[in-house]
Structures are given as structure tokens and as C-alpha cells.
Amino acid sequence: MQCDYHNRGLCHSCTLIDQPYALQLATKAAGVREVLSQAGSDTGALQWLEPVASAESGFRNKAKMVVAGSVQEPTLGILDPRGRGVDLRACPLYLEVVGQALEQVARFSAELRLLPYNVTKARGELKHVLLTVSAGSELMLRFVLRSQRQVQRIRENLPTLQAALPSLSVVSVNLQREHKAVLEGPEELVLTEQDSLLMQVNHVPLRLRSRSFFQTNTEVAAALYRRAADWAEQINPSRVLDLYCGVGGFALHMVGPSRSVLGVEVSAEAVRGAREAVAHMGLGPESVQFHAGDATAWQQQLGSASSPGAYDDGGAADLVVVNPPRRGLGAELAHRLDECAAQDLIYSSCNARSLARDLANMPSWRPVEGQVLDMFPHTTHYEVALLLQRG
Ligand SMILES: C[S@@+](CC[C@H](N)C(=O)[O-])C[C@H]1O[C@@H](n2cnc3c(N)ncnc32)[C@H](O)[C@@H]1O
């Protein structure tokens, strides 16, 4: 991929961009294998499947832009080491529609004279612009503001922006009142009638609300869910427990006849989206359910080999899927998984180091098949999916 911002030294985010893509992919896959084996994981029986490649450009479904510059000419991108804005609205990682939308958002911001937030002076209103695009090119836009002062003006002028961007379905304002380096705050005001974006992935109509997690690369996420669904088909479990389920990507790909699937996720907003997808798919509670809660606190649902009576209908899950944040599962949940009644486990991770730590706390599980999926080309990041069985 050629990137003008990189070539001009304006952006250094894509640290591997100068390597041929095939080499990036092979190096990442080798790196994951090495971390797992160096950490002492029992990888003797592990068969690695071909890594999943991504498109080299136009693959990112979300843009998280820092707003800087002036009222008349806002920059949407990053800050340089001196705190000045670097405009990256034509970044080739994004789908073309994202670049076009950012262009219109910058124009809208200038017309409304929204003052970009200045980190050094702690002055201004507009901090970030967050944009997500669905596979059908529908857009969800979030303005991150310091206060409520400009909300009414944005609301009143929204028709102008919607006229320029007909695919703009969801618009919200997030309030990040504090002067600290975090992307968004806890308050979200939705300005449009529609409050969620339809993210069709394979045959599953996922519903994404403003603050719910969604995998960055829709095409590779589709491959990840297909991989997990293929494993589930081979196992043919009666009960699946999907911990850290987000808006239900894994769970909803595993629904099947004579099977009950339960998803657990801490974000109530994501669970709401998952339940909407269930309704949209015409599925009943006997088939799939979602609960808002902490994954570790839900560990009782796993049952144990000696007393497997903890799942909703009196039996334990026989397949567990986990897809935790970068920090991993932690010792408590890993120990519980080690002792539970399930015979199969799928672990999808974006961090081989925390994965290796968790595996060390689950000595009764043995990885048997694995795949590296390149969610993040040109960077050192990746996703790795493992199928584990009892050792
Ligand atoms: C890597 S994302 C995976 C989401 C989902 N599996 C997917 O494919 O989109 C991790 C998810 O874990 C959720 N999460 C974080 N901490 C949690 C916790 N303690 N208990 C349950 N879910 C949690 C996050 O909100 C996020 O949705």
C-alpha cells in the first residue's frame, strides 16, 4: 500500500508499511507461534491453518480522528509531537466512503464554527470525530465534545449534513468533559431517530450502537466468525456459552437446531444490540439469549466436571467461546475454565502474551487448531483464534 502521509513523514502509525504484505503476514503468524511456544504452552498437537489475509487498503470500518487546527480549517487525524493537528482524512486504510464523509464533516464543522479543542490550552469544544461504516456503506457519526454548548446547533443543522451525506444513518454527541487523553466520555446523546447501525456480517445482521465494541476489519471479522462457526459445526455442541460476546458476533454464528447459545457481555448497550439481532433473525429464547454482566462473575454458568448443573436449563455448556479484551481472561476465570465441564473451548485473542498467560492457568486444555487473522495490516497487531480440547 502506498501512503502519502507515511512517505511525507506525517504519520508513523503503520509501522510495517514498507514490508511486502506477504512478509508482514508470515512474520505475524511466526511471532504468534513463537510467543505461545516460548511461554511454555503445550502446542505439540497444534495444527496451524493458513493465516487469513486482509485487503491491503480500504479495510478499516472505523475512523477515530482527533480534531485540531482552526475553526475555518479543522484537521481530522492525529496530533504531531508538538500537539499540532495532522490531517489524515484521506488515509488509505479507510474505505473511500469514510474519506468522503470526513470531508463533509470537516466542512460542517467549519460552517458551524465549532472550535477544535486545543489540548495545550485546554480550550475549544470539538475533540474527536468517530465514524463507523457498515458493509452496506451506511454511516454512524459521533462528535466528541467538551460540553453541551454546541449540541443544539449541531442538532438544528443536522439536515444540512444529512443532505450532503445521504448514507448517514446515526449521529450522536459524546460528552468528554475532562481534560485527559481519553477518546470518549460516559454520556452519549443520540441526535437521529435511528440509534444503531446494521453491520451485516456473513448471514448475521449485527446491530451496533455508538459505544459498543465492533471488530475493526469487517471482512476479516467475517472470516473469524466463519472459522469459529466451522469449529462449532464439527463439535456440534448442545450448549454454547460465549463470554465477552459484544454485539453477538460469535454467538449468532453458532445458532443451530437443538442447540442453545448464551452470550455474556458487560456492556448493556451491546447486549441490547445483540437482542435486536435475535429478534431480527426470528430466533426464540430456547435458541439464543444474551445477558449483561461481568464474564468472571458469570463463571458459575460454566458448571464443573463434578457438578454440571449451572446453565440456564440445568446443564453445563459443552462449548465455551471467549474473546476478551487485550488484558485476557485473568487468573480467576482461567482457573474456572480449567475446571469446568465443557469439552471444547474456542479462544479468540488480539494479544498472544495474555493468551499465553491464560493458557498457563488452564493446563487441562490443549490447543489443537489455530489460525492467525490479519485484522490490522501494516501494524504488528493481529487476531489469533484457537480451538482447544481437553488434554
Ligand atoms: C475483544 S471484544 C469482543 C467482542 C465480541 N466477541 C466481538 O467479536 O465483537 C471484548 C468485549 O468484552 C467486553 N468486556 C470487557 N470486559 C468485560 C467483562 N469483565 N465481562 C464481560 N464482558 C467484558 C467488552 O465490552 C467487549 O465487547
End-to-end Cα, the chain, rounded Å: 43
CATH number at residue 103: 2.40.50.1070
Same domain as 343, residue 235: yes
| SS3 category, 386 | strand
User: What pLDDT shows up at residue 39?
Assistant: 77
CA of 323 to the centre of ligand 1 (A): 7
Same domain, yes or no, for 124 and 265? no
Any domain includes 1: no
Q: Kindly state whether residue 234 falls inside one of the protein's structural domains.
A: yes
Q: pTM to 2 decimals?
A: 0.94
Do the domain assignments include residue 204? no
pLDDT per residue as tens digits for the range 148-167: 999 999 999 999 999 999 99
pLDDT at 289 over 80: yes
Q: What pLDDT, in 10s, does the model give residues 250-279?
A: 999 999 999 999 999 999 999 999 999 999
pLDDT tier, 43 (very low <50, low <70, confident <90, very high otherwise):
confident
Is pLDDT above 70 for 313? no
Q: What percent of the chain shows pLDDT beyond 70?
A: 96
Q: What is the CA(247)–ligand 1 centre distance, in A?
A: 9
How much distance in Å is there from the Cα of 2 to the middle of ligand 1?
Answer: 34
Residue ending a domain, choose from 195, 226, 258: 195
Cα separation, 362 vs 334, whole angstroms: 6
Given the residues 11, 245, 340, 350, the one annotated as active site: 350
Ligand 1 atom 4 nearest Cα: 246
Nearest Cα residue to atom 11 of ligand 1: 244
Question: Average pLDDT in the 40-57 region?
Answer: 91
Q: What is the reported pLDDT for 298?
A: 77
With the most atoms of ligand 1 within 8 angstroms of its CB, the residue from 202, 244, 271, 384 to mutate is 244
Q: Is residue 383 part of a domain?
A: yes
Q: Which amino acid is at 386?
A: L
**Do 272 and 325 belong to one domain?**
yes
Range name among 28-37, 291-300, 341-350 with the lowest pLDDT average: 291-300
More confident call, 45 vs 194: 194
**353-372: pLDDT as tens digits:** 999 999 999 999 999 999 99
**How many Å apart are CA 167 and CA 132, to the nearest integer?**
11
Q: What is the pLDDT of residue 299?
A: 66
The reply to whether 189 and 228 lie within a common domain is no
Q: Which of 163, 195, 227 is the last residue of a domain?
A: 195
Write the CB contacts of 83 (distance below 8 Å, at least 6 apart in sequence): 68, 119, 120
Could you tell me if 218 and 360 lie in one domain?
yes
One domain for residues 37 and 186: no
Pocket test for ligand 1, best of 265, 291, 346 (most atoms within 8 A of CB): 265
Check if 11 is active-site: no
Q: Can you tell me whether residue 337 is helix, strand or coil? A: helix
CATH number at residue 242: 3.40.50.150
Q: Are 165 and 288 in a shared domain? A: no
The pLDDT of residue 309 is: 44
Q: Find the domain containing 181 and state its range.
A: 62-195
Residue 285 domain flag: yes
Look at residue 97 and tell me if it is in a domain.
Answer: yes
At residue 54, the pLDDT reads 98
Strands (DSSP E) along the chain, which ranges? 47-48, 62-69, 74-79, 85-87, 126-133, 139-145, 168-175, 187-190, 197-201, 204-208, 239-243, 260-265, 288-292, 319-322, 344-349, 365-373, 383-390
Higher pLDDT, 281 or 82: 281
Pairing of strands 344-349, 288-292: unpaired
Task: Return the closest-CA partner of residue 41 out of 384, 371, 360.
Answer: 360
Model ipTM value: 0.99
- 351 plus 312 within the same structural domain: yes
Range of weakest confidence among 118-127, 220-229, 245-254: 118-127
**178 against 126, higher pLDDT:** 126
Question: Do 41 and 72 fall within a single domain?
Answer: no
How do residues 9-40 score in pLDDT, each as one tens digit? 999 999 999 999 999 999 999 999 999 988 77
Which residue's C-alpha cell is 487523553? Answer: 181
Q: Give the pLDDT score at 308.
A: 44
Task: Verify that 348 and 364 share a domain, yes or no.
Answer: yes
Question: Hey, whose CA ends up nearest to atom 1 of ligand 1?
Answer: 325
Give the pLDDT of residue 301. Answer: 57
Question: Which residue among 213, 226, 327 is best mutated to probe the pocket of ligand 1, counting the most ligand atoms within 8 A of its Cβ?
Answer: 213
Of 168, 195, 222, which residue is a domain's last?
195
Q: Is 215 annotated as a binding residue?
A: yes
Domain-located, residue 7: no
* Residues 179, 84 share a domain: yes
Residue 69 and residue 50 share a domain: no
Tell me if 292 is assigned to some domain. yes
Region 216-223 average pLDDT: 97
pLDDT tens for each residue of 57-111? 999 999 999 999 999 999 999 999 988 999 999 999 998 899 999 999 999 999 9
Residue 388 CA, ligand 1 centroid: distance in Å? 20
At 300, is the pLDDT very low, low, confident or very high (cuts 50, 70, 90)? low
pLDDT of amino acid 38: 84
Count of structural domains within the chain? 2
